[in-house]
Amino acid sequence: MMSFTEAPGPLTPQASKGKGKRKRSPTAVVSGVIPDWESPGRRGDNLQTTHRVSKNFLKVLVSPEDPDVDIIAVHGLNPTHTEFHAEATWTVEDKLWLRDFLPPQLPSARVLLFGYNANVAFETSKAGVREQAINLLNRIASKREEAEERPIVFVAHSLGGIVVKRALVEAKLDDSYKSIREATYGIAFFGTPHQGGNFAKLGDIAASIIRGVLRNPSSTFMEVLKKDSLFSDALVGDFRHQLEDYHVLSFFETLPMGRLGLIVDQKSATLGLAGLLPFNLVRLVKSAVKAAAERARIASLSVPSSRPLSEATSVDTVTKSPPSHLPYAVDAPFNTYSRQHDRNCLPDTRVDLLREIYTWADGKDGRFIYWLNGLAGTGKSTIARTVARKYFENGQLGASFFFSRGGGDVGHASKFFTTIAVQLAQEPQSLQRYIGDAVRKNANIATQSLGDQWRQLVLGPLSKLSGDSYPSSYILVIDALDECDNDEDILTILRLLAEAQTLRTVRLRVLLTSRPEIPIRHGFYQIPETEHQDFVLHHISPSIIDHDITIFLKYNLGLIGQRKPSLSASWPGEETVNQLVQIASGLFIWAATACRFIQEAERVFLIRKRLAAILQIGSSIVGEQPEKYLNEIYTTVLRHSIPAKCSEEEKEESLGMLRDILGSIVTLLSPLSIHSLSRLLNIQSGDVDDCLEGLHAILDIPRDHTRLLRLHHPSFRDFLLKKDRCNDSNFWVDEKPANETLAARCIQLMSTSLKEDICGVTIPGTLVADIQRSRVEQCLPLEVQYACLHWVKHLRRSDAQLRDNDYVHQFLQKHLLHWLEALGWMQKISEGILEIISLESIPSVGNCLSLYGFIHDLKRFALHNRGGIEQAPLQVYHSALFFTPVMSIVRKQFSNKMPWWIKRGPEVEANWSATLQILEGHSGMVMAVAFSPDGKQLASGSHDQTVRIWDAATGATLQTLEGHSNLVNAVAFSPDGKQLASGSYDKTVRIWDAATGATLQTLEGHSRSVNAVAFSPDGKQLASGSYDKTVRIWDAATGATLQTLEGHSGRVYAVAFSPDGKQLASGSDDKTVRIWDAATGATLQTLEGHSVRIWDAATGATLQTLEGHSGRVYAVAFSPDGKQLASGSDDKTVRIWDAATGATLQTLEGHSAGVRF
């Protein structure tokens, strides 16, 4: 046994009277000797009793005079069983990192080291770890009795992270440790496995760590891992529930550990959450100090000065990270892991341009957007990375987003603003709090429109900044906006960014790069020239570009010379470099591809051979356009990738496989890894790897086959898919057949992978929210998710002629419900509905009686059951089938899937009713609805004071427009669909931007509620009717009142312009309709005698009196061709009438209250 200078063993918390501080329990001290639980006899059989074991302590390594943060380090396993392992974990070459390196950067931090017998703790698994977790908590409490509010940052190595996680879980369960839990600001995990990695499950990773560290662990040790795992889902799940409370920093291995390889890879080391902030450790600690200071400042302001701060009521101002579910495109930032090898501008290159950008970025004029545009390959992304790096290091980079066509999350805009918000939330603390508040206030913000996301997550929080605790300006760097896959989203982003000019307390500058494509040019036409600065990259003087490319080539080819000393000292020589510069023709992508192609050669003679092949390009196509030289170097690289020593038959086979694989890569709608691509194509992973081995010059091929495979530059996709650019038929990819092949492969993969209850949850009512995303990703791997989302898109992009009972029809008849279930777990039901609608519209489907009938019924089935499947996907086999009409094709096809134990099902209609969808989301009565002119969107106004814009195809909410201070009575789209007007009980009319949700005008003038709004046919004027008995005509652009029409003796409920815009009709509860001259405001007709009537607008004569409603009629509307009329009534029905004869064509029932529109 060994004596301790500090009392050993676990300490039990005991609340003292009065101040609530903890005291050590006398029973926990055992005469200063090793307690029984830590005696050698309890260790594994591989440990010798003669070894000394680690002390059990929490000692202070560094203690400044007035510390403002505690850093607590916790070690993992002890490979040598020595007593100094706690120190050794953090020591390299006699330098204790915690003591010798941290203090200079964090002079006010107190650094503590926790020592314990890790091997014994982990051998006894959960029991031992929990005991040490409580031991840690008690020792922390004893060291912080005089400063319980001081922030804590844990630093955990390897399995020591398990102790920290268990300690925080215990602190959550036991209020004795409340002060520790609340003081914990962040955790830095160094190689702690939190989940299964790319190659191994969590328990296997733990076993590998133990084998690697202990060399020869006991059988007891390994058995405990299997049957009583400290890595169980329970601990992982419990800790995940606390993640919003802490900032988390995770480090992972990038170098293999001998024969064991990479044990804790990136996937295992991270907690699998989008939205984790990219802090480094020093910034994490500094942020904790700032947060504590902010808490103290606000607390001091909120209580009387005579009251001690320690007794003040807690004010929760801890600035949490945005919630973990906020979508985050991990590959978007300039410094993401996947971009770590992308280079910045070399010294002495792009000097003048960078100086101009820096001058603009630091300026204070109104040109808040800098548009750097240029042709493909001119170096836009490199410049963007360089600028982002500079301002990142200066602490002024707000965020960066690098688009990439077909790049998954970075190929579209759905995660654009949420990703920007997550990056902005790093600091300052107040901005972090404002963004967090926005997310907590609107939990569904990530699913809402780009306009809502921009205003609530970015513009709103930035506008609230005040004081001097933040940079005076932030830079956003947005690269390759033209590679966003939706032109409308591009225009919307530009319109929204223009709103940054409204910021007053902070300047937001936006560097945006793109090709000069039409949508972007059109977007900038709508932004005043005084608000943006443009630079055309391909208009730079050729001599400047050639100078920069010369430096680039000398640097990169010089690296090859250093690697191969047998090359001459002057290699490649001034003349060769000059020739290469001429062939590059101003394209940096050409120079980069050439360098990668040469670097890829391992032997010196191959290096020279490849250089000669590239130089040959220049002599064979003199005087051509730059694109021609790029085509030739791509062709050269492809030809060199085919094995030279093989038969013609083998060569043809290699070419065929290469063409199939490359064709798939360039037509994929989002990137896949080699592992996923091989599964999708049903080709061995090794064969795919071998086939691409010689293409590193044009493809980014990770060594880890589970990481995404990418193109170095999008110009390679253009080259392969255009026959006039790719002249070698061995490599040209015919896009339509390639898409048809991918569609077939997707269907084949889904047919073999999908099944009922694919996530194994068993209980039909299990909610999507209750299942960890990691479980979904495990059961639905990336390639299966890809197939589920994109198989229809590939079909539409092909020339496939679908037929009854073909492979598509058979897939739907067998796996439809499996597919919908999978989409439910993926939270992609809306996307699935769009795919169904798209499938129905394929021309050949219309010629297939049986297939078309099935798809049409499937569309009704999906729309009808959308909400239930979104929340609980297994309901697709239960309530969805039971509540589907009896004659539904889908119900009949899958009747065998209906639960046998339900003996009596609900009574349902025989066939589908006229109701296509029921849109739910408003919290109050819906007073008005209106379709957009193209029929793709629907607007609604409600008593909940909001206007909603819905996707008419899927039923998804696109926008929620907030601004009215009372219930909304009326909505109307402008003729071009770009604007939306709403009238409210708050006496105002609002005009909104339908794309972004921005308020364009607030029209004030009515003295009572506004009940009706209508745009003129040219969209230049807007009419409104009010309880104040007047009709007003407004200028839609300026908001000025053009006419106030008086004459009604009762409230005005309806207004409508004539098709030529010259006349205006209004309906009132004075039982009259008035027709006005829209230009002069004169009354032209007063029409009396009502139920529903059709009048001659010129003479005022009654043409039809439509009778049938049993209650008051609230609204009427003509069809576009004027042949039919719809009316909504207090009798809860909508009627459709023949406008010529007055006959009732349809009576639509289903509403539970009066109908207005």
Q: How confident is the model at residue 760 (pLDDT cuts 50, 70, 90)?
A: very high
> φ, ψ for residue 998 (rounded to 5)?
-75, 145
Q: Average pLDDT of 709-727?
A: 89
Question: Which of 281-290, 838-847, 858-867, 1055-1064 is least confident?
Answer: 281-290
Q: Average pLDDT of 546-567?
A: 85
Q: How confident is the model at residue 287 (pLDDT cuts 50, 70, 90)?
A: low
Q: What is the pLDDT of residue 308?
A: 28
Question: Which of 232-246, 305-319, 535-549, 849-863 is least confident?
Answer: 305-319
Q: Hey, is 68 helix, strand or coil?
A: coil
Cβ within 8 Å of residue 316, ≥6 positions away: none
Pairing of strands 988-993, 999-1004: antiparallel
Same fold, 26-271 and 648-733: no
Buried (b) or exposed (e) across 646-663, using 16+ Cβ within 10 A?
Answer: eeeeeeeebbebbbbbbb
Determine the topology of domain 337-538 in CATH.
Rossmann fold (3.40.50)
Cα separation, 973 vs 936, whole angstroms: 12
Map out the domains of the chain as residue ranges: 26-271, 337-538, 543-640, 648-733, 738-897, 926-1088, 1104-1157
Across 27-31, 50-54, 286-290, 588-592, the highest mean pLDDT is recorded for 588-592
Determine the topology of domain 648-733 in CATH.
Arc Repressor Mutant, subunit A (1.10.10)
Q: How confident is the model at residue 53 (pLDDT cuts 50, 70, 90)?
A: very low
Residue pair 1031/990 in contact (Cβ under 8 Å)? The answer is no
Q: What is the pLDDT of residue 6?
A: 29
The answer on pLDDT for 790 being more than 90 is: yes
State the amino acid at position 560 in one-letter form. Answer: I
Cα separation, 1020 vs 1009, whole angstroms: 23
Rounded to 10°, the helix 588-599/604-620 angle is 150
Cα separation, 640 vs 811, whole angstroms: 41
The answer on pLDDT for 737 being more than 90 is: yes
Cα separation, 266 vs 255, whole angstroms: 11
Cα separation, 507 vs 529, whole angstroms: 18
Query: Hey, what are 995's tokens?
Result: 């794309």
Query: Hey, what are 845's tokens?
Result: 């489907």
Cα separation, 1094 vs 1110, whole angstroms: 18
Summarised one tens digit per residue, pLDDT across range 139-172 is: 999 998 888 889 999 998 887 888 999 899 888 8
Q: Hey, is 579 helix, strand or coil?
A: helix
Taking alpha carbons only, the member of 606, 590, 589 closest to residue 598 is 606
State the amino acid at position 288 in one-letter form. Answer: A
Rounded to 10°, the helix 518-525/487-497 angle is 30
Question: Which of 58-72, 180-194, 257-271, 738-752 is least confident?
Answer: 257-271
The answer on pLDDT for 50 being more than 70 is: no
> φ, ψ for residue 762 (rounded to 5)?
70, -50
Cβ within 8 Å of residue 734, ≥6 positions away: 663
Q: Is the dihedral of CA 237, 242, 244, 250 positive or negative?
A: negative
Summarised one tens digit per residue, pLDDT across range 874-909 is: 999 988 888 889 899 999 999 888 877 776 777 888
State the amino acid at position 532 in one-letter form. Answer: H
734 or 17, greater pLDDT: 734
Cα separation, 549 vs 577, whole angstroms: 9
Looking up tokens 């004795």 gives: 176
Taking alpha carbons only, the member of 375, 374, 402 closest to residue 386 is 402
Q: What is the pLDDT of residue 478?
A: 95
Cα separation, 1032 vs 1052, whole angstroms: 11
Cα separation, 562 vs 558, whole angstroms: 6
CA 493 vs CA 37, 486, 528, 594, 974: distances in Å: 62, 11, 16, 35, 21
Cα separation, 559 vs 579, whole angstroms: 19
Q: Hey, is 418 helix, strand or coil?
A: helix
Using a 10 angstrom Cβ sphere, with 0-12 exposed, 13-18 middle and 19 or more buried, the burial of residue 878 is middle
Determine the topology of domain 926-1088 in CATH.
Methylamine Dehydrogenase; Chain H (2.130.10)
Taking alpha carbons only, the member of 925, 922, 923, 969 closest to residue 949 is 922
Q: What is the pLDDT of residue 407?
A: 77
Looking up tokens 């329970």 gives: 234
The answer on pLDDT for 696 being more than 50 is: yes
**Chain centre distance of CA 30:** 55
State the amino acid at position 498 in one-letter form. Answer: A
Q: Hey, is 1147 helix, strand or coil?
A: strand
Taking alpha carbons only, the member of 213, 39, 203, 37 closest to residue 127 is 37
Q: How confident is the model at residue 2 (pLDDT cuts 50, 70, 90)?
A: very low
The answer on pLDDT for 45 being more than 60 is: no
Instruction: State in words which class domain 26-271 has.
Output: alpha beta
Q: How confident is the model at residue 1094 (pLDDT cuts 50, 70, 90)?
A: low
Omega prior to 572 cis, within 30 of 0: yes
Query: Hey, what are 454's tokens?
Result: 């921009």
